[in-house]
Structure formats: structure tokens, C-alpha cells
Structure 1
Amino acid sequence: MSDPIQQRNTLAARPLNRQDCKTLGLASLGGALEFYDFIIFVFFTVVLSKLFFPPDMPDALRQIQTFSIFAAGYLARPLGGIAMAHFGDLLGRKKMFTLSILMMALPTLMIGLLPTYQQIGIWAPLCLLALRILQGAAIGGEVPGAWVFVAEHAPERHTGLACSLITSGLTLGILLGALIAMAMNNLFSPAELEAWAWRVPFLIGGVFGLVAMYLRKWLHETPVFLELQAKKNLATELPLKQVLRDHRLSIAISMLATFLLAVAIVVAILMTPAYLQKQFAVLPVDALRANCYAIVALSLGCVVAGWASDKLGCGLTILIGCTLLGCSSYAFYHTMSHDTSQLALLYPLMGFTVGIVGAVPLLMIKAFPAAIRFSGLSFSYNVAYAFAGGLTPVILSFWIKYDVLAPSYYLLLLSMIGVGLGAYLITHQGQQLKHSIR
């Protein structure tokens, strides 16, 4: 009989096979379609602010109100993420991975059918808020669920790369949103967008979500969960209770890493197109086109960061990546303040360095043992993202009034925190990132 330890090491060291690639492909595609549903809102905030709030409200206040509804989706993440993770640790990863798609697709369809303020008054923004909360709950289970799902399928020496491919797939959902927003601005006049065309991207997103739910029926439960189930090693008490009691330092490290991920994407990718239009008079089409280039570069940067985290470790990868992020973001925003002709060059450069977020999933996967991994990762990720991603648009909306370069300083501060985290991980990595994937 072969040695079980030797068998485990052989499985961990094997290359990615065809089944791994199929799992990665289906999970990435589903994640991209679901993430499109979640973020398409931000590309139409200007139109939505006009349609879902009183016409006599000051423009700046309408914009803040709309961004606040966008932020509500982030603030709802912990509720859905923690609930789905609880059942994911007890009943299986795949079931929750599929449920999150349905919870995203239906609200997205309903947003596309919502009456406006002119038709139903104050109920319009309230309904929009409720649907964004449902979307937030869905995405709260989707992202941690995707990372855990592929990490427990892939060979251990390729876990960082596998998780970064999922993260890259999620960013392609942002790219799809940007491309459709750009197409809508090219095909329709502002009057047509306000009259009816704004609904099209949300209706498309709802259909995308249902397609993604269908695709996930071809996925299989993770070998790690099946082994835990067969050996009766599943959590014997409330998984989150065990996480909070026994893994507080892992939670803190994971939350800090998530803060890095959330702010980098929200500021550099989601908010910057509207920022460029309002502050530097960049045409919407030009801002969205450059944003598409940046998202493609971000997707590539994610994969590079994931590969590097397997080879160099999470600490050194994050330290180097955050240093580059600080330099590139400072150069981008300060150059845009006086020369927007460099937009198509500097925005993708910054987008590539934002790809350091691709190193974050491996850090969190290794921070928690398998029996409570979903709950530990989901709690840390969603609570931190709720604060970082939810409050960032509101903070910057006020800060920009006093300093047009506020996004630059925000990302520079973030990068310094990331460098500190990387340095800490380098000196303590053996103590904190100690849990085997399998």
C-alpha cells in the first residue's frame, strides 16, 4: 500500500490537468458574468442619479446619493457572504456557489424593469436600494466561494495561479461592463439613454446571470470537502464561532489584505472613469476606452501576481507589487491634472500594478484550515470589503471637493499599508500562512 503522505505530496505537486482547466474556465466565466451584474451600476451612475432622485435636487447631492446606493451593495456583502459560507462549510461548496448566481441574476433583471422617480416617486430609489442590497449579498458569497472552490480543486503548488485566474476572470466582468457602457454611449444619445436605453445593460446582465447558473451544473464538489465529509471532519460547532475564537490574527491579516484589494479596484478602476470626466473634462468615450485598456492590464497583472505568489511567497509579492502601485498611481493622477494626452499609456500601467490584488486570495486561503476555510475567508473578506469598498466612494466624493488629487493620495496611502503588510508577511510567513490547502 502506498504511503498516504507520499500520495498527498504527489497530488499537490502535479501539473494542472484538463479537468482543472475545465473547472477554472467554468468558474471564471460564471464569476465574470456575475461580477458584470454587480458593477454595471457604477457605469451608469450619472444617468441613474437623474432618473431615481428628485429633479430639483442639486447635482452633487444626487451623485452622492447614487454612490451611496452603490456602496450599499458593498455593505450588504457580509450578510450574504457569512450565511453562504456557513452552509458552504457544512453542506458543500458547490451548492452555495450556484445559489449566489441566482441571487444576483434576478435583482439585476428587476433593476432593468424598475419604474423611475417620475413614475413612482420616493419608492424608486428605495426599490433600487433594496435590489442593490440583494446583489451585495450575492456577491458576498460568490467571490470567497470561487476562491475556495478552485483552490480545493487545483494542485497545491499552483493554488496562487488558480485563484488569480479567478480574480482575473472577475475583472473581465468589469471589462464587459465597461465595453457595454462604451457601446451604449456610442449608439445612443444622452436623451435616449435617459429615456430607455439605460435599462438594456441590466436586462442583458440578468440573462448572463441565468446562463452562468446553468453552466455551473457541470462543476463537481471539491475533493477537499468530500474528504472532510467522508472522514466526518466537518466543523462540529458554528464555523464562524470557531473562526472568531481561534483565528483572530489570521482574520486581521486577511482583512488588511482585503482592504488593499477593495480600495485599489474601487478607486483605480471603478471610480476613475467618472472622475476623469468630471475633473479633467475627458470625453466619456475616451475615459471608458482607457478604462478598458486598464482592465485588460489588470487581468494580466492578476495572473502575474498569482504566479509570483506561488514562486516567491505572498509577502515578497505584495511588497514589490504595492511599491509599484504607489509609484504608478501617483504618476497617473498627477500627470492627468495637467496633461490628459498620456491617458492611454498611464492608465493601463496603473491597471497592471493594481493586479497585485491577484496575490491576496492565496494569502487568505492559507490563513484558515479546510473545515472552516469558507467561513474564515468570507467573514474577513466581506467585512473588510464592506468598509473599504462601501465607504471609499463616499469619502472620495467629499475629499475631491477640497483636493482634486485625492484619489492619488488615497492610493499612495494604501500602497504604504501594503508594503508594511508585505514586510510583516516576509518575517512571519512561516507562522501565519501555515495551513495546507488539502
Structure 2
Amino acid sequence: MPESTRDAAPQTGSLRVVVAGSFGNIMENYDNLVYAYSAVTLGKLFFPESSSLVGTLYTFAVFAVGFLMRPLGAITFGHFGDKFGRRITLVVSVLMMGAATTLIGVLPTYESIGITAPILLVVLRMVQGFSVAGEWAGSAAFLVEYAPARRRGFFGSFNQVSTAGGFLLASCVVALNSSIFTDEQLTGWAWRLPFLLSALTAIAALWLRFGLAETPAFSEEQAKGSTAKSPLREGLRTQFPSIARGFGFTMLWTVAYFFFLTYLPTWLTGVAGVDADVARTSNIVGLITLTVLIAVFGALSDRIGRKPLLLGSALGFLVLSWPVMALLGSGNTVGVYAGQLIIAVILAMFSGPGPAAISELFPTKLRYSTMSIGYNFAVMAFGGTAPFVATGVVELTGSGLSAALLPIVSAAVTLAVVLGMRESAHRVLH
């Protein structure tokens, strides 16, 4: 089958496209995760009348509240992204996220304004959740639609390189903040600094995106006059099976990210008794490894296909989650680092081909809205709740290893979905 104009996208300006398509994703994931990595401090400041455990639970519950807004954000941004274009929609999502995170950085605490403080925190987390819902799918569609035909996996992988990069940046900034300032300074004012940094990253993301044209694929749809008048309605009517596959496909992906990369540092120190410095440093080493390997696996998927890597990752989490948690829980420093590296490799196998694979499920004129629905509903259900549920499961069972049931169950579901998907790496983007 001959390649379409969209699949023969020129490589001129590829670096600018990748940076602009990815940088906003770095910023949005940084904003999202700097909250999670600051959970213990935020619990003391916004829920001071609770015990340490309950305060952490409340903080993770507020973290989960942001994810409840993702379906609304997915529907809203997906509609405008398919109707008016990817670029302007991504500009709006970055602007909203940066504003919400910066406002958290200037928010009065419970000591200053009482119950109003956690209420405002919830509202700002809702704005964060709404805006980040538009970023991920828009960034994935943007990169894949700009990519040359045989490099969609590689281009799309930078959606996940930037996602992991956002996690890594948040982890490094919070760790550096904790090492520079005393506990008294952190709870007094220094906790605000990582949130205030968001204002600078938002400005950089906006500058990069304003200078780009619309994607070749969407521009072709506009030129033909074939963009959807009502993307949500048409998408639900014609693409519901693919939306359902996108939901199941995302289940393991989102649990793995928010369980292993968000909850795990808290689990290592609070449950396994690992030294806080070892937990933070091993997490950063794992994130660096993940960030580097994602693009490698994305490029590999352009050669050997998406399915072999996706299946290998799902099987890896199914079989290895429990042993890896046991290794991490041993308290042995070498074991902790080894466990973090194993997680990084297995997750990179999924994250590399993942953005291209899920994008290729949907037609261009409906891609933003339909991919947003499947992906963000799964993230709402399994991502934001993962740290909260894992904390509750450990408390109920009295066993730290019981938390491994979350990635095991999600891996079984995603494995079944991927087995039923057809290989799409070498097919024309429709």
C-alpha cells in the first residue's frame, strides 16, 4: 500500500517538533508528580490534626481527586483538539497546568486559614487533573502525526521520555530541596519552591509551542474538509471497540507508573524501612535508566514491531512484580537498586512503543478525542488511586508485599488486550 502524504512527513525541523511536543509533557508530569513526591510534607501542612499515616492517606486521596477530573478534561480537550487542531489545544493545557501548580506554591496552609486550605488544595488538584488530561493524548498524537512513516515508534516514544523526564525532574527537585533545607525550613517555606518552579517551565513550553505549525496529518484532514463536526459523538459511535482496547491497554501502563514511580519511594521508607536517602537515590537511578531506554525501545519497535515488546513487558510485570517487591523490601541496598533497575527496563519496554501503538488504534480525525477517552478513563481509575489503594491494602493485610497485587492484576488484563491487537508498526497511519 502506498504511503500517504501524512506518512511521508518531512524530517526538516524534527528536533524542534520533538522538543515542542515533549516539553509540555515534561512540565505537566513534573507538576503532577511534585505533589506526590511532597506527600509527607503536604500531609503535615494541610492535614495536621491527623496521624502521620492518615495525613499521608489524605494527601494521596487529594492526589487521586485530580484524576477524577481527567475524563472531563479528556472530553473537552479531545473535542477541541480534533475540531480545531492539536497545537492550540496543547497551548491551553500547558497554560492551565502551570497556573494551578504555581498557585499551590503560594497556597496558605491549614495553620493560616484552617479548613479552607485543604479545600483550595483539592480545587487546584482538580484543575491540574483537568489540564493534564489534554496534554498526554495531544502530545502523543502530535508526535506520531509529525513522524516519518517508519519512525512513528521512535518519535512517539518521546511522549514517554518526557513523561519519565517529568517524574525524574520532580524527584530530583524534591530530593535536592530536602537535602538543602532543614525539616523546619521545609515545613516553614521551602516546600513551596518546587511548585513555584512550574511558572518558568510553563513559559518555556508556551514559547516552544507557539512557534510550530499544525501536524501534517491533521492539516491534511482540514484541507480535505473531513474533520469531525462532533468528534465525541462520532468517536463513541464508530470507535468504541478501539476505545475499550485503549482502556485495557493503558491499565498496566498507568498502574506501573504511579505504583512503582510514585508510591514506591513512600513504601520503601514507610513500609520496608529503607533509608530515605537510598530510597530517593535509587528512585532517581531507576528513572534515569527508564528515560534513556524508552527511546531505544521506541526505535526498536519500528524495526521488529510493537507487539513483541508490549507482550514482553506485560509478561514481565505479571511474573516479576512479587519477586521484585520482595527484593526491594529486603532492605539490602544492592537489592533496592537492582529492583529499581528491573522495573525501569520492563516499563521502558512498554513505554517505548506504547504511544505509537495506542495512537495507531484510531483514525486521524478522531484520534485526539478517542485516545483521550480510553487513556484518561484508565488513568482516572487506576493511576491516581494506585498510591492510595496500595497504602490501604498494606495497612489492611499487614503485609508490605501485598501491594504487588496491583501491578500483577493489571498486567494480566493488559496482556490479554495486547494479545488481541494486530501489529500496526508497518501499517499506513489512517
TM over 0.5: yes
Which residue in 1 is equivalent to 2:328? 336
- Shift of residue 435, structure 1, vs aligned partner: 7.7
The aligned residue for residue 257 of structure 1 is 249
Deviation at 1:337, TM superposition (A): 2.5
Q: Does 1:176 align with 2:169?
A: yes
Structure-2 separation of matches of 1:6 and 1:33? 38
Counterpart position of 1:286: 278
Q: Which amino acid aligns with 1:412?
A: I
CA contact (8 A) 2:37 2:174 kept: yes
2:263 and 2:386 in contact (8 A); partners too? no
Task: Identify which range, 322-331 or 194-203, moves more after superposition.
Answer: 322-331
1:416–1:300 distance in 2 versus 1, CA, 3 Å: farther
- Aligned: 1:114 with 2:107: yes
Unaligned ranges ≥5, structure 2? none
Q: By how many angstroms is 1:156 displaced?
A: 2.1
For 2:7, the aligned partner's letter is A
Q: Match for residue 419 of structure 2?
A: 423
SS in structure 1 at match of 2:43 = helix
Q: Is the Cα contact below 8 Å between 2:293 and 2:345 reproduced in 1?
A: yes
- Pairwise CA distance, 1:332: 2.1
Structure 2: distance between partners of 1:301 and 1:327? 21
Q: CA offset at residue 142 of structure 1? A: 0.5
SS at match of 1:405: helix
Instruction: Measure how far apart 1:363 and its partner are.
Output: 2.2
Aligned equivalents of 1:135, 1:348: Cα separation in 2: 30
Q: Give yes or no for contact 1:74–1:386 (8 Å, CA) kept in 2.
A: yes
CA RMSD in angstroms, aligned pairs only: 2.0
Query: Which residue pairs with 1:68 in the alignment?
Result: 61
Q: CA deviation at 1:46?
A: 0.3
The Cα of 1:357 is off from its aligned counterpart by 2.7
Asked if 1:412 corresponds to 2:408, the answer is: yes
Per-residue deviation, residues 116-141 of structure 1 (Å, max 9, x unmatched): 00110110000000001101111100
2:75 to 59, 78, 82: 82
One-letter code aligned to 2:226: N
- Alignment partner of 2:100: what SS? helix
Partner residue of 1:41 out of 32, 35, 38 = 35
Aligned-pair CA distance for 1:199: 0.3
Q: Is 1:363 aligned to residue 357 of structure 2?
A: yes
Contact kept in structure 1, 2:273 and 2:331, CA below 8 Å: no
**1:188 corresponds to 2:181:** yes
In structure 2, C-alpha distance between the alignment counterparts of 1:68 and 1:99, rounded to whole Å: 27
For residues 280 and 136 of structure 1, the distance between their equivalents in structure 2, rounded to whole angstroms, comes to 30
Q: Per-residue deviation at 1:7? A: 6.4
The SS at the match of 1:85 is: helix
Paired with 2:284 and 2:184, the residues of 1 have a C-alpha distance of 24
Query: What aligned pairs does 1:365-404 form with structure 2 within 5 A after superposition?
Result: 365-401=359-395, 402=397, 403-404=399-400
Q: Is the 8 A contact 1:264 1:354 kept in 2?
A: yes
Matched AA of 1:319: L
Q: CA deviation at 1:422?
A: 2.8
Question: Residues of 1 paired with 2:3 and 2:416: CA distance?
Answer: 38
Normalising by the residue count of structure 1, what TM-score does the alignment of the two structures yield? 0.92
The corresponding residue for 1:312 is 304
The CA distance in 2 between the partners of 1:85 and 1:419, in whole Å, is 27
1:57 CA displacement: 1.9
What is the 5 A alignment of 1:4-43?
Answer: 6=2, 8=4, 12=7, 17-43=11-37
2:287 maps to which of 288, 292, 295: 295
Summarize deviations over 1:39-94 as a string: whole Å, max 9, x none: 100111000001011x3322222111110110111111111221011011111110
State the one-letter code of the partner of 1:266.
F
CA distance in 2, matches of 1:36, 1:232: 37
Alpha-carbon displacement from aligned partner over 1:128-169 (angstroms, at most 9, x marks no partner): 000011011111000000011111111122111111122111
**Alpha-carbon distance in structure 2 between the residues aligned to 1:72 and 1:56:** 21
Given the superposition, is the C-alpha separation of residues 33 and 56 from structure 1 closer, same or farther in structure 2, using an over 3 Å criterion?
A: closer
Unmatched 5+ residue regions in structure 1? Answer: none
Q: Structure 1 residue aligned with 2:129, among 136, 140, 163?
A: 136
Asked if 1 retains the 8 angstrom alpha-carbon contact of 2:29 and 2:163, the reply is: yes
What is the CA-CA distance between 1:327 and the residue it aligns to? 4.1
